[in-house]
Amino acid sequence: MTDTATAPATHRVPEGLPARIQHYIDGGFVDSQDGDTFDVLDPVTNETYVQAAAGKKADIDLAVAAARRAFTEGPWPRMLPRERSRVLHRIADIVESRDARLAELESYDSGLPITQALGQARRAAENFRFFADLIVAQADDAYKVPGKQLNYVNRKPIGVAGLITPWNTPFMLESWKLGPALATGNTVVLKPAEFTPLSASLWAGIFEEAGLPKGVFNLVNGLGEDAGDALVKHPDVPLISFTGESSTGKLIFGNAAPYLKGLSMELGGKSPAIVFADADLDAAIDATIFGVFSLNGERCTAGSRILVQRDVYDDFVERYAAQASRVKVGYPHDPATEVGALVHPEHYAKVMSYVEIGKTEGRLVAGGGRPEGFETGNFVSPTVFADVAPDARIFQEEIFGPVVAITPFDTEEEALALANNTKYGLAAYLWTSDLRRAHNFAQAIEAGMVWLNSNNVRDLRTPFGGVKASGLGHEGGYRSIDFYTDQQAVHITLGEPHNPTFGKYPG
């Protein structure tokens, strides 16, 4: 147990919470067609604090029809890039101006520490600003054969984009999809995670104030098997961008196949952090502590497997465990909190089941249960297991919580084999002072993204995505533009047409 988990006297509930959460379809808030709702829980108390409209196929049909009308008949796809850019910049301005309120609601709804939620709100604004700039700077390709041929490429929005987002950092991840989808002239139907619908409900007012035309943005709440499934299977939705579990990604892949939809799927991860004996251990410990315990460990790129060279292994484990034990667990609204409450009792039960499994698979050196002073709610002490074998479940399976496995290695070859020894391949982190090793090792790692002597610092121009079970396709920068547009090649003959003659002469 950690002595840094001290419970404040009261749990703070934000003022002005909505009485209910509705869908937003064709410019208006509406209930479900069948009137159905679902409970939304406060992760600190696990009590219902609001009910949200539970969307089904009928609600998705209405939302897609509205988005389709806005695409075929409305002004948005036909606006100049600069005009759409102005709207996106206004969206960014509004989000920035309301960052404290957004963070307060996001923290309350998801259990995320308030200081980290504030950072996510600001990143959401930056996502819109980035794609607002990028769409104006976009240059299409042209290929010339002097005197003979000119070829150029038109980029065109595709239509209705179906966006399905997760419950971890939901507002920011929604912006990561909404920004490029809207910038390129598409219309959208957003299906947010059912655990965390609160912050998503704010988009409608933000977009209205920014001047987004009616019907361009639509939102349907609901369960994945109902609303999400209907969105994936809708014949008028040619694009699906999904972030979530790999198992759900497989279902979406299969359900979208008959419609030959464009898919971008950012899925699970079990990312390694490899620490060589020549690394700066102070920096490596700080980064790997943050990399797995920030965002409550509920992050796809978490470095949840730490591989440490045996020369420094014992020292690393001792120091890491001591620092992990000092990580402050607290109520989400407390600015001093570093790990808050997990999002939902179902997820809490899953994470705690892995903690119990870990006690049979490794040496528990920190955490391992509920922190003192938090007898209710979804609180988990930052938990560290050492001496974890590569076939252990806590080494192989995504836990998605504040739980880390540490494993020793001797040689560079062994480290690489351990790093690649999972079905996932999203991110990796490498700590070494050997420049040649760093670049060669990074290239050999089976991961879509690698950070060298660095924490997870994102450049929005770079591709984001994974390999193996961690994803399909990439977004970020021009990769997002590619995903949300069709590229049409136009060919023009500048000289005499080169036409082979068939059937010109009789006989």
DSSP conformational letter for 450: E
User: What is the spatial distance between Cα 453 and Cα 431, in angstroms, rounded to a whole number?
Assistant: 5
Please identify which residue in the block is written with the tokens 């991961």.
447
Q: Which two tokens stand for residue 152?
A: 């150029």
Sequence-ordered list of residues with C-beta below 8 angstroms from that of 440, at least 6 positions apart, any chain: none
> Per-residue b/e over 37-66, b at no fewer than 16 CB within 10 Å?
bbebbbbbeeeebbebbbbbbebbbbbbbb
Give how far Cα 466 sits from Cα of 196, 384, 429, 431, 475, Å: 25, 26, 14, 20, 10
User: Residue 25 is encoded by which pair of tokens?
Assistant: 């379809």
Give yes or no: 266 in active site: yes
Strand 427-431's sheet: what is its strand order?
363-366, 383-386, 403-409, 305-309, 272-275, 427-431, 449-452
Q: What is the 3-state secondary structure (H, E, C) of 279-345?
A: CCHHHHHHHHHHHHHHHHHCCCCCCCEEEEEHHHHHHHHHHHHHHHHCCCECCCCCCCCCECCCCCH
The one catalytic residue among 266, 298, 398, 475:
266
Distance CA 305, CA 421 (A): 11
Tell me, what DSSP letter sits at residue 212? P
Spatial neighbors of 60 by CB under 8 A, at least 6 apart, are 189, 191, 220, 227, 230, 231, 234
One DSSP character per residue, 99-122 reads HHHHHHHHHHHH---HHHHHHHHH
Residues 24 and 219 sit within 8 Å (Cβ to Cβ): yes
Q: Which residues are catalytic?
A: 266
